[in-house]
Amino acid sequence: MRLMTAAAAIVFAGLAILGFLAVGYALAGFAIVTAAAFLATRGGEAVGRRARPTSVSERADDPLQVVIANLPDPVIALDGDGRVLALNERARSLAPALRQGEPVSLALRMPELIEAIGRAYARGEEQRIEYSDHVPLDRWFETVVVPVSRRANLNKPDLILMIFHDLTPLRRVEEMRADFIANASHELRTPLAALSGFIETLQGSARDDAKARERFLAIMQEQARRMARLIDDLLSLSRIELNAHRRPDTPVDLVPIVRQVVDGLETLARDRGVTVHVAAEGALTVLGDRDELVRVFENLIENALKYGAAGKRVDITVTQAVSTEGETEALIGVRDYGPGIAPEHLPRLTERFYRVDVSESRAQGGTGLGLALVKHILNRHRGRLSIESVLGEGATFTVHLPAPGTPP
């Protein structure tokens, strides 16, 4: 209103100076415009309070609306009567029934939220509540309800801000961590129970049985080794996770690494009656951590030798190609001709402790952490693992690593 009055003053003063209007007429005109502006403002306020509390927010330049629209979390502003004054797109997608000007209680189904708004309004204090929604998906939220008095002399808040924090990703991480600890403890407890059992037997009934003692000690040794492998893998996983954000920056040639791993697994290959073929030419350099890459190829080739032994052959290829994004990639393929993997298992294979057949994995000395390690190491190298398999025809595990500066 002040702006309008000032503008009118300038216009009428200007007209008077230019001689278009007598000074008296100019003053009268100015008075009329000022009064009209004053009445319009008062009228707007009066009408607004009774029937249309949203008139303020419907203006595109309304600061409240502009601020709320640009906040990264879902936010709803209510007037003192619990009607929606303003909301952003994120709040709209959370509760599509919300309408400006309508009571918020019509659109929000959570009774605990409505109660929190009531308390915030009555006590003039911030309220925080957590709640979960299960339709269409499980989601968790924390909502902060902040009462605001926009003028100093109000004894009741005339604005309520509701700010929603999506706790779902946090909850998922918490669940995963709890699952992981439960799984790891279970995996450790099994060999531990076997060890305790054999110790008791050796102390009791088998005390003087030299033959049984030999046999039991061999089993105990294997169980102890299994626990050691498990702890090794768990420690490696946590170490790699700690370094996940630091991308390795040492140039390493993949070809000798792959050959070295194959040489190291020669005994295993011979035991399983599998021939390993390596197709690699020249050098293929990536930025990497040598020890971690050794671990990747060890895991993949060992899996192929163990689970794909029936195919009698494992083919390893080291090549480079241009990805669909136009970047040069080093590709290391490990192909076996064993039983293959059913498609429903493929997406879960890199999860910790996920195994197609737990007893088969245990019999092979597996921990269920090999492919999880592979995935984490490749993530750190900004690479990835792809798996293809046809049941009965074997499986191909392909490592993709960015290979900068070496065009094919």
Ligand X SMILES: Nc1ncnc2c1ncn2[C@@H]1O[C@H](COP(=O)(O)OP(=O)(O)O)[C@@H](O)[C@H]1O
State yes or no: residue 394 binds Mg ion (CB under 5 A). Answer: no
Minimum CB distance to ligand X smaller for 216 or for 397: 397
Give the C-alpha distances (Å, rounded to integers) separating 201 from 206, 208, 221. Answer: 6, 11, 15
Give the SS3 label for residue 78: strand
Q: Would you give the end-to-end CA distance of the chain in angstroms?
A: 70
Tell me if 276 contacts ligand X by CB under 6 A.
no
| Contact status: 338 vs ligand X (CB under 6 A) | yes
Return the residue of 323, 357, 391, 406 that touches ligand X, per CB under 6 A: 357
Write out the two tokens for 16. 């008077």
| Short-list 319, 326, 318, 323, CA closest to 301 | 318
Edge-to-edge strand order for the sheet containing 159-166?
A: 84-87, 75-79, 159-166, 139-148, 127-133
Q: Decide which of ligand X, Mg ion, none touches 355; Cβ closer than 5 to 8 Å per partner kind.
A: ligand X
366 sits near ligand X (criterion: CB under 6 A): yes
Segment contacting ligand X (CB under 6 A): 70-78, 151-159, 246-254, 333-341? 333-341
Residue type at position 133:
D
236 binds Mg ion (CB under 5 A): no
The values of phi and psi at residue 284, to 5°, are -140, 105
Q: How many CB atoms lie within 10 A of CB 157?
A: 21
Residue 309 C-beta: closest distance to ligand X, Å: 9
**Contact status: 370 vs Mg ion (CB under 5 A):** yes
**Does residue 297 belong to the site contacting ligand X (CB under 6 A)?**
no
Task: State yes or no: residue 265 binds ligand X (CB under 6 A).
Answer: no
Q: Which is nearer to Mg ion, 257 or 349 (CB)?
A: 349
Q: Which residues contact 312 (CB under 8 A, 6 or more apart)?
A: 273, 274, 275, 337
Q: How far is the CB of 88 from Mg ion (least distance, A)?
A: 48
Peptide bond into 136 cis (omega under 30): yes
Q: Is the alpha carbon torsion for 350, 354, 356, 358 positive or negative?
A: positive
Is 311 a binding residue for ligand X by CB under 6 A? The answer is: no
- Site string (270-309) toward Mg ion, x via CB under 5 A: ---------------------------------x------
Question: How big is the site for ligand X, counted in residues (CB under 6 A)?
Answer: 21
Contacting positions for ligand X (CB under 6 A): 299, 303-304, 307-308, 336, 338, 341, 349, 355-357, 361, 366-372, 395
Which positions lie near Mg ion, rule CB under 5 A? Answer: 303, 366, 370
